[in-house]
Amino acid sequence: MKKRLTPSNTLVAIDIGTTKICVLVAKKIDQHNCEVIGIGRAVSHGLARGVVVDVAPAVHAIKAALQEAELMAGCSIESAYIGISGSHISAHQSTGMVPIKQGVIREHDVARVVSAARAIPLPEDEQILHAVPQQFIIDGKHLVNDPLNMHGVRLECKAHIITGNVTLVKNLIMCCQAAGVKARDVILEPIASAEAVLSEDEQELGIGILDIGGGTSDFAIYQRGSIRHTKIFPIAGNLFTNDIALCLRTTRDDAERIKKEYGATILSKEPHDISIKTIDNSDSRLVSTSELSFILNARGDELLRALNKEIIDHNLAATMPAGLVITGGGALLEGFIQQAQKTIGLPTRLGNPRTTLAFKQELSHPLYATGYGLLLYALKQETLSHRVDGATFPLNRIFWKMKSWIAEVF
């Protein structure tokens, strides 16, 4: 009989992607570390570009990943933190302002100004997923990270507001519930990936992260320890695979195989021939790796040009002095990091999750950046929610007390 998980000392994260479902089960070691005790993976079905398009196969895939994770962990899974992405995700910059009545800024003043920053006009079908304070301004002059107990008569808050389509997010949560697991919260996947692959120094100095998944490529910028910009691009791994299948007239399965085995946007070796199946799966033929590289380079160039346009249009280069980190399965294409550095013109590196505990060799892989990052983000938030010492992270305690997205729509 499987042992039930104890919410107080365990965390579960589910990365529901277009091409794969990944479930990670972890045991808390202390307030800053957790140890992964179970991993479950399954091929994703019923999703396209990060959103559910067919409920039954999506539920079946989630169940398969959950069962594998439960078997390895020796526990039953009842609730989890869910990663979310998709082209329906959008971001807004907002400013809130409130007067300080007593002359000294208290917790309720900070809560009020953050609520004021959240008060933005939204279409009926959108809901706020995250409201991330970027900086506070006292009396229109003094920029501070934590205004608690400071003197002033007016407090402003600049916040990064991330929204999503209510129906599409509900569909994802309903699929998890149908698979037998309750969603504890939904977390934007670029925020999770950043937790796993970026250092504190990089987040403070200013850096961009591009997570290339199967259905979408998620871009975010961090500076001064907070998220500054987000953008979801509908150009990702599945389009690379589709291009190979279309141009080389082969099956999607074989296109995925040769992408993983021989895929390169810039060749580092002499071209050679590889065998691929015909589209009717009845025969095989030879194609050159140079032809494969040409196909992948073109799609990679499209993604990088879209990213570069976003950086230029919003004057973001100055917020990325530490460069760009690329993670996710799409980052594994040979030569893509060099192609990105040439196109963007900034230092670029591959982002591997920074794990030092169990399953290090397996989890230290770009494919697990989002899943492992979800665990780290959840650990941080749960630690903050249980703090009772008002002198330690008081500001974050205020944000945690606010209603979660799940509570608002269910």
The pLDDT, as a whole number, for residue 299 is 97
Is the domain of 109 the same as that of 204? no
Instruction: Name the nearest CA neighbour of 374 among 220, 193, 230.
Output: 193
State the CATH number of the domain containing residue 147. 3.30.1490.110
Q: Which amino acid is at 83?
A: G
In a domain, 401, yes or no: no
Contacts for 315 with CB less than 8 Å, ≥ 6 apart:
none
In a domain, 52, yes or no: no
Is the domain of 158 the same as that of 204? no
The pLDDT, as a whole number, for residue 358 is 62
Is the domain of 154 the same as that of 295? no
In a domain, 82, yes or no: no
Tell me the DSSP string of 181-228. Answer: -EEEEEEEHHHHHHHHH--HHHHHH-EEEEEE-SS-EEEEEEETTEEE
Domain that holds residue 143: 90-164
State the CATH number of the domain containing residue 232. 3.30.420.40
In a domain, 32, yes or no: no
The pLDDT, as a whole number, for residue 393 is 40
Is the domain of 130 the same as that of 231? no
The pLDDT, as a whole number, for residue 137 is 95
Radius of gyration from C-alpha coordinates of the chain: 22
Is the domain of 107 the same as that of 209? no
**Count of domains forming the chain:** 2
Is the domain of 157 the same as that of 204? no
Contact 267, 274 (CB under 8 A): no
Is the domain of 241 the same as that of 106? no
Is the domain of 212 the same as that of 337? yes
Contact 72, 141 (CB under 8 A): no
Q: Report how far residue 334's alpha carbon sits from residue 338's, in angstroms, rounded to the nearest whole number.
A: 9
Cα 79 from chain centroid (whole Å): 19
In a domain, 192, yes or no: no
Is the domain of 221 the same as that of 334? yes
149 vs 60, 108, 171, 397, CA distance in Å? 52, 11, 43, 15
Q: How would you write the pLDDT of the chain (410 residues) with one tens digit per residue?
A: 455 555 568 899 999 999 999 999 998 887 777 888 999 999 999 999 889 999 999 999 999 999 999 999 988 999 999 999 988 999 999 999 999 988 899 988 998 999 999 999 999 899 898 888 999 999 998 899 889 999 999 999 999 999 999 999 999 999 999 999 999 989 999 999 999 999 999 999 999 999 999 999 999 999 998 899 999 999 999 999 999 999 999 999 999 999 999 999 998 889 999 999 999 888 899 999 999 999 999 999 999 999 999 999 999 999 999 999 999 999 999 999 999 999 999 999 999 988 766 666 677 888 899 999 999 998 888 766 554 333 334 444 444 434 455 555 55
Is the domain of 277 the same as that of 157? no
The pLDDT, as a whole number, for residue 390 is 38
Is the domain of 245 the same as that of 155? no
Is the domain of 149 the same as that of 241? no
Q: Report how far residue 140's alpha carbon sits from residue 154's, in angstroms, rounded to the nearest whole number.
A: 7
Phi/psi zone of residue 276: left (φ > 0), alpha (ψ -120 to 50 degrees), beta?
beta
DSSP, collapsed to helix, strand or coil, labels residue 131 as: strand
